[in-house]
Amino acid sequence: MHDDPEDHYPLYPLGMLRRHGLVGAQDLAERLPSWSETELREAFWPAVWPAVFMLATLEGLERLPPAGLIEVGIHLAVAGAVYAGLFVRVAIGANERRFYWTKIRSLLERRGRAPVAA
């Protein structure tokens, strides 16, 4: 009978299973997805490039050093808004945008409902 480490640690990342010797390198390689370079680029690039502009925004705001915690929060909020705006408006396509908005609406609708009595 095969004793699979994932049965004992189902939420443990595969890389950590390998690092702690619970899974061999060959087993790990067989479990990894076989993504092409194009698929990887399409998956990661839309999330990465807006971060460059977010970092540039933080760098620009550095000229106005924050005097306290509120100003730090404002700097982070502005940079986060730059990232979110670029990601939602430019980086992802219409289908992905529709998917995100549908998920957000469904989460907000759940919050508004009264809990069901057990």
pLDDT digits 0-9 by tens, 41-60: 888 888 889 999 999 998 99
pLDDT at 31: 73
Quick count: other Cβ atoms within 10 Å of Cβ 7?
8
Question: Phi-psi region for residue 107, left (φ > 0), alpha (ψ -120 to 50) or beta?
Answer: alpha
Tokens, residue 117: 């009595």
Q: How does residue 102 score in pLDDT terms, banded at 50, 70 and 90?
A: very high
Query: Cα–Cα distances in Å, from 92 out to 55, 82, 116?
Result: 19, 15, 36
pTM greater than 0.75 (yes/no): no
Mean pLDDT along residues 102-110: 89
Tokens, residue 61: 């705001």
In the Cβ-directed half-sphere of 18, how many Cα atoms lie within 13 Å?
12
